[in-house]
Amino acid sequence: MSTGFDEIASQYPIALHEYIRDGGEGALLRAYQIGRHAVAIGVGVLEMAALHEEALLSALIATAAPEDGTHVAKRASEFFSEFLAPFELTRRGFQEAHSAMRDLNRGLERRLSAALQDFESAQDELIEQKRMEKQKNDFISVISHEVRTPLTSIHGALNLLKSGLGGDLNPQGQRLLDAAYRNSQRLVRLVNDLLDLQRIESGTMTFNLRPVDVHSLLEQAVESSQAHAGQLGIKLQLRGAPAGARVRVDSDRMMQVMTNLLSNAAKFSPPGETVTVEACRHNGGVRVEITDRGPGVPQEFHGRIFQKFAQAGHSERGGSGLGLSITKAIVEHMSGHVGFQSEPGRTTFYFDLPEWRRHVSREKAAGNMWPAGR
Amino acid sequence: MARRALKRILLVEDDPDIQTVTSMALGSFGGYTVRVCGSALEAIAAAAEFRPDLILLDVMMPGMDGVDTLRALRQVPATATTPVIFLTARVQPADVAKYKELDSLAVIRKPFEPTVLVETIHEIWTRYRDEAH
């Protein structure tokens, strides 16, 4: 297309939008001038009709309320008529202009109604989607509260019995108590995971990002998961982390990620084995690897391992099926990436985080009581 | 001014079973003297005589909720500055932000392990006490 037409193609929609918005004789005169220019450089009416339709549709899409559509169409028609006036002064243009106007008027109503319908249904769909999302979040929040209250008594009572408050039980009684306690722990985890997932999905989970030393973070994670792993006969070992490597993360959330990965690794390892943790520099970032000696992730499960409620046929191991999905969401929120490699006898889950390199003054020690109280 | 040792805890909680579990843990494991109140009104009535060192406050209670109870307890001279820890199942980020603004020491999420609760309270109290020095 000629440079002249390009100029018209860029000016026409602006002038049309201006007339739709403000009206006025000045804008109509502008339409006439563009029309004259089009005639002068030999642009055909049909080309102009296509340009007009495109500009009209974009004006309709930009319309805030569907009921304004009629007003837009009316002004657009006035503008287009004015624009076509110079064409009517030429012999060839006269016929074409009339035929273009006729076609346009005929098609316009149909196009307009279709565009409005699309607009309205898209709007309805969005409203419905938002309503459903809110309903789901409210539901999870209510359920979570309603379940937490009785669970506090059940889990609390079992915890006190296990700590010996009710005196000694015979071996059968102890086994029953252990089973009840284990399963109430599982329920607590499920409720907590559901709430975390809801927070992630609704965007209300807060992240307090600070540069953190990778080695200290891993040391702390291994230490705090050691007791739980020990109950399963598993040893946790930190093999090392690059000196001075730091990542910008929310420490509490990272502990949650590490606890989850370490607990999974311990759960799937044969008793007596060691789960290792190691960090290294990888592709300009820091990679943390947690390796176990378990049976490996079944091949058919590889594609959906990070999906919600995904469990590789091991629900008897006490997971909620949400842990890895939460882990993935948390790591990704901190600009990271999670993955795994698995073969029978050796599975490594890893996550990569960008290394924090900026020199910052030493973080002020947080004198805030809140984190510890959570 | 040095803060005194933690001995007396006022537990404001409407659920009788949670009352039992929590007060048993605080009494048997923590060695604390615990007064249990099932509502804000009971707590306000007990405050002057019991003079708690710490208040554990549930949020969802019939009648006056935990937030309003805290405001009411601040009007009672005996509990005008007594530290408060919320003990609640309402832990959405917006809720937690509100508790922080309300001059409370911490929030402990339900369900909790009663034996761990005792340790947590001890830790929070130790830091609170050390802050005064």
Whether A163 sits inside 8 A of B123 (CB atoms) is no
Whether B111 sits inside 8 A of A152 (CB atoms) is yes
Is residue A87 predicted with pLDDT exceeding 80? no
Judging contacts by C-beta atoms under 8 Å, the chain A residues touching residue B54 are none
Best probe of the A interface among B91, B107, B122, by most A CBs < 10 A, is: B91
Per-residue pLDDT band at A91 (split at 50, 70, 90): low
CB-closest option in B15, B85, B112 to A149: B15
Per-residue pLDDT band at A321 (split at 50, 70, 90): confident
For residue A242, the number of C-alpha atoms closer than 13 Å in the C-beta half-sphere is: 15
Q: Distance from B64 to chain A by nearest Cα, in Å?
A: 18
- Check residue A272 and give its pLDDT: 94
d(CA A68, CA B56): 58
Best probe of the B interface among A148, A152, A162, by most B CBs < 10 A, is: A152
Whether A159 sits inside 8 A of B114 (CB atoms) is yes
Is residue A160 predicted with pLDDT exceeding 90? yes
More confident residue, A286 or A31: A286
Q: What is the mean pLDDT of residues A122-145?
A: 82
Question: What are the tens digits of pLDDT across the range B63-94?
Answer: 899 999 999 999 999 999 999 999 998 887 77
Q: What is the mean pLDDT of residues A277-297?
A: 93
Q: Domains along chain A?
A: 1-205 (no CATH), 210-373 (3.30.565.10)
Q: Provide the percentage of residues in chain A whose pLDDT is more than 90.
A: 35
Q: A127-141, A291-305, A306-320, B75-89: lowest mean pLDDT where?
A: A306-320
Question: What are the tens digits of pLDDT across the range A243-275?
Answer: 999 999 999 899 999 999 999 999 999 999 999
Q: Which residue of A has its CA nearest to B20?
A: A153
- Check residue A214 and give its pLDDT: 96
- Check residue B129 and give its pLDDT: 86
The verdict on B91 touching A (C-beta cutoff 8 Å) is yes
Judging contacts by C-beta atoms under 8 Å, the chain B residues touching residue A180 are none
Collapsing DSSP to helix, strand or coil, B132 comes out as coil
The verdict on A374 touching B (C-beta cutoff 8 Å) is yes
Is residue A370 predicted with pLDDT exceeding 50? no
Mean pLDDT (chain B, rounded): 91
Q: Distance from B53 to chain A by nearest Cα, in Å?
A: 17
Judging contacts by C-beta atoms under 8 Å, the chain B residues touching residue A199 are 92-93
Is residue A101 predicted with pLDDT exceeding 80? no
CB-closest option in B21, B111, B128 to A148: B111
Q: A66-80, B27-41, B79-93: lowest mean pLDDT where?
A: A66-80
Q: Long-range contact list for B27-31, CB < 8 A, 24+ apart?
A: B28/A160, B28/A165, B29/A163, B29/B114, B29/B115, B29/B118, B30/B118, B30/B121, B30/B122
Q: What is the distance of C-alpha B46 from the center of its chain?
A: 14
- Check residue A373 and give its pLDDT: 36
CB-closest option in B94, B110, B113 to A149: B110
Cβ within 8 Å of B, A 199-238:
199, 204-206
The verdict on B65 touching A (C-beta cutoff 8 Å) is no
Best probe of the B interface among A153, A192, A200, A368, by most B CBs < 10 A, is: A153
More confident residue, A146 or A368: A146
Judging contacts by C-beta atoms under 8 Å, the chain B residues touching residue A195 are 91
Whether A160 sits inside 8 A of B18 (CB atoms) is no
Q: Please, where are the H alpha helices in A66-170?
A: 69-88, 91-162
Is residue A353 predicted with pLDDT exceeding 70? yes
At what angle are helices A171-202 and A323-333 packed, to 10 degrees?
A: 40
d(CA B100, CA A44): 70
Q: Domains along chain B?
A: 8-131 (3.40.50.2300)
Judging contacts by C-beta atoms under 8 Å, the chain B residues touching residue A204 are 92-94
Q: What is the mean pLDDT of residues A145-152?
A: 88
Judging contacts by C-beta atoms under 8 Å, the chain B residues touching residue A144 are 89
Q: A238-247, A264-273, A352-361, B38-47: lowest mean pLDDT where?
A: A352-361
Q: Which among A266, A275, A273, A271 is positioned nearest to A319, based on CA atoms?
A: A266
- Check residue A57 and give its pLDDT: 78
Q: Distance from A154 to chain B by nearest Cα, in Å?
A: 9
Strands A246-249 and A337-343: unpaired
Give me A50's structure tokens.
Answer: 């296509």
